[in-house]
Amino acid sequence: MAIEVKAPGLATTVQDLGRPGYYHLGIPLSGAMDRFALRVANMLVGNDEGAACLECVFMGPELEFTTDATIAVTGAELAPKVDGEARETWTSFRIKAGQVLSFDFLKAGARAYIAVSGGIDVPLVLGSRSTYPLGALGGHQGRALQAGDVLPIGQADGAHEGRTVPPALRRMPGNPAELRVLPGLYWHRITEESGRNFFADTWKVAPEADRIGYRFRSGRPLEFVPRKQPFGAGSDPSNIVDACYPYGSIQVPGGTEPIVLHRDAVSGGGYFMLGTVISADMDLIGQMQPHTPTRFVEVDMQTALTARRDRRALLDRVRAALA
Amino acid sequence: MKTRYSFGGDEHIFVEVDEEMSLEAFFKSLSITNAVRDAGIKGVTEICPANASFQIKFDPDVIRPDDMLAELKRLESAADRAESRIRTRIIEVPVYYRDPWTTETLMRFRERHQDPSSTDIEYAARINCYDSVDDFIAAHSGSPWFVSMVGFVAGLPFLYQMVDRSRQIEVPKYLRPRTDTPKLTVGIGGCFGCIYSVRGAGGYQMFGITPMPIYDPKQEISYLRDFMVFFKPGDIVKWKPIDRVAYDAIVADVEANRFTPRVRDVTFDLDEFNRDIDGYNRKLEEALYGH
């Protein structure tokens, strides 16, 4: 009842829906960057929606199975192969003991989720199986997979192969990608003109884009409203007295390159934030490759809540389609 | 102090108690966050006190953002009347100042520093007008420090020096952050001290290293068996300068799992502290060392 890692891919980690409740101690939410894709992958193989999967970025691993299992790969277009034979993404298929799961080149998106019937059965740590590599916490030995690792898998309840998610129910960022933002937090620190520029410019995902945060380039630098820096904040106008950083918040150190914090966010620090990406759009970030052109779109709370409802409705439609 | 509320997307409320750092702002943040915890509001998933602000994460499917905001405002007015008195603990943290590991690291990142020709601690001593590094170390370790936030990475404490503002050590952060910091480095950025709980990136000036682990995800170290993170907001820290011999001895004790930090329970009263800071600190030290 296990998977042997023949080749690990780039930064393949065990992830589930995350580890809420410990952010006040600097332990981030963790969990899949594209939680929609993780839920759907689990549905396809008959797991609980929050079962642990493998999250792989840009490149798939090579995995040998010591037991028969049902597999589904969702998220990025990273086509799976069983003993070299092509399989579909967003579709469950069978693998037999002794067979090897490998992957073709990435065609779209950035992160694929590999669900295995029974789930990846690493120990629960603080209520989650997610990996937080910086803190060496959770997942498989607190780190990304390495060749030679053996991953236990849980008990599956029957086969579920041949189920597929209709293309209309798959969710990927557009081009340019659009991330909806509720301005706030320290928005008042930048000038009105800078605020307009931030939403008018087309940004590009920088190479420094990972589970901690996504950095963006190519927009105009921000200008700050002059002030005497408050005691304890530090001398740069982008500094604040160190505070909590919300998941999804956008900080702009030095006013130059915005960073959107994601699942392995640093929980706090001394840079001002101008707003927060709405919860409905956080999954999209997990599918953005470096250089992806990106627009930040200003929205209000009502729009954010409506978008959240729409996203829930989409998940309900997937559940209905696979029921 | 003027409290400012802002939504952080549809899942967070961010509350700035004051723009500038003070123990008063910290205590207010702590008492509101305690009140939020005690209130047991349905839908609240994270309660995070910080230095002079705090953040609440909630599920807007369970509680509407406007209702969450109203709850917080109600709890804020109740917290205004709260006593600035907490039951907490004082902890001795040994520090090997000017150790070889942080020194090696800071030399590797000299081009990112304000003053490439001196070390971090020489620079900090000079810009804070101390005659020598030894005087600077005496000041750094001479008063207790207050843990005013835990975070950035798992288990990292931010510490606020418990002296008059005029005597507080202040240093800028590195011009550009380092990509490496040894685990358990003791440093300062702005007015905040910190202990890096894990190895990784960092921008604070580095002064030394402690042999005392403060984060253990495996929960094997005797005093981290119950919980993997040592510090919590409200803890009080007293640095104790140690030399290489003492450092190596503690490292050996930690490895043999027979090291336990010196910790005493104390009550901290902000009003009494403000009336006579140095006298109050002497009492805290007496509680720690029992003489």
- 3-state SS of A190-255? ECHHHHHHHHHCCEEEEEEECCCEEEEECCCCCCECCCCCCCCCCCCCCEEEEEECCCCEEECHHH
Q: What is the CATH number of domain A177-313?
A: 2.40.100.10
CA distance B36 to chain A (A): 14
Give the Cα separation of B117 and B75 in Å (integer). Answer: 51
Closest approach of chain B CAs to the CA of A219, in angstroms? 20
C-alpha B162/C-alpha B144 separation (Å) is 6
If phi > 0 it is left, if psi is from -120 to 50 it is alpha, else beta; for residue A138 that is left
Alpha-carbon gap, residue B182 to B196, rounded angstroms: 8
CB within 8 Å of B287: residues ≥ 6 apart: B90, B264, B266
Q: Do B150 and A182 touch (CB under 8 A)?
A: no
Half-sphere exposure of A306 (CA within 13 A, CB side): 6
What pLDDT band is residue B233 in, cutting at 50, 70 and 90? very high
Contact B9 A266 (CB under 8 A): no
Q: Identify residue B118 by its one-letter amino acid code.
A: S
CB contacts of A138 in chain B (<8 Å) are: 217
The predicted pLDDT at position A100 comes to 98
Flag whether residue B238 sits within 8 Å of chain A, measured between CB atoms: no
Rounded to the nearest angstrom, the minimum Cα separation between A126 and chain B is 10
Centre a 10 Å sphere on the Cβ of residue A292 and count the other Cβ atoms it contains.
Answer: 20
What chain B holds in terms of domains, given with CATH numbers, is 4-82 (3.30.1360.40), 87-289 (2.40.100.10)
Nearest to B190 among A125, A187, A234 (CB): A234
A-chain residue closest to B54, CA distance: A244
What is the per-residue pLDDT for B291?
60
Q: Look at residue A160 in the predicted model and tell me its pLDDT.
A: 81
Optimal mutation site among A27, A185, A244, A300, interface B, most CBs of chain B within 10 A: A244
For B227, name the nearest residue in chain A, comparing CA atoms only.
A126
* 3-class state of residue B16 by DSSP: strand
From residue B92, give the alpha-carbon distance in Å to each of A147, A223, B192, B198, B254: 43, 44, 18, 20, 15
Candidates B8, B9, B52; nearest CB to A241: B52
Query: Which pLDDT belongs to residue A236?
Result: 86
Q: Is A241 on the interface with B (CB under 8 A)?
A: yes
Query: Which residue matches tokens 């709850």?
Result: B71
pLDDT in tens, A38-90: 999 999 999 999 999 999 999 999 999 999 999 999 999 999 999 999 999 99
- Residue B82 predicted with pLDDT over 80: no
Residue of B nearest to A309 (CA): B61
Q: Verify whether the Cβ–Cβ distance B20 to A24 is below 8 Å.
A: no
- The nearest CA of chain B is from the CA of A6 a distance in Å of 27
Contact A27, B229 (CB under 8 A): yes
Residues A4/A63, Cβ–Cβ less than 8 Å: yes
Q: Which fold has domain A2-169?
A: Jelly Rolls (2.60.120)
Show residues of chain A in contact with B173, CB under 8 Å: 234, 270
CA distance A252 to A238: 7
Q: Percent of chain B scored above 90 by pLDDT?
A: 91
Residues of A in contact with B192 (CB under 8 A): 232, 242
Q: Quote the pTM value.
A: 0.95
What would the pLDDT profile of B118-157 be if each residue is shown by its tens digit?
999 999 999 999 999 999 999 999 999 999 999 999 999 9
* Alpha carbons A233 and A250: distance in angstroms, whole number: 18
CATH 2.60.120 maps onto chain A at: 2-169
DSSP for residue B103: H
Q: Name residues 258-297 of chain A within 8 A of B (Cβ).
A: 266-270, 273, 275-279
**Local confidence band at B177 (pLDDT 50, 70, 90 cut-offs):** confident
B49 shares contact with chain A (CB less than 8 Å)? yes
Please list every residue in chain A whose beta carbon sits closer than 8 Å to the beta carbon of residue B232.
25
Flag whether residue B50 sits within 8 Å of chain A, measured between CB atoms: yes
pLDDT at site B281 = 97
Residue B81 has pLDDT above 70, yes or no: no
Segments of chain A scoring below 70 in pLDDT: none
Is B152 in contact with A27 (Cβ distance < 8 A)?
Answer: no
As annotated, the residues of chain A forming the CATH 2.40.100.10 domain(s) are 177-313
Residues in chain B, how many? 291
Instruction: Tell me the per-residue pLDDT of B14-31, one tens digit each, with 9 for 90 and over.
Output: 999 999 999 999 999 999
Q: Is B172 on the interface with A (CB under 8 A)?
A: yes
Q: Which of B11, B49, B50 sits opposite A279 (nearest CB)?
A: B11
User: Nearest chain B Cα to A142, which residue?
Assistant: B217
Identify all chain A residues contacting B47, using CB atoms and an 8 Å cutoff.
24
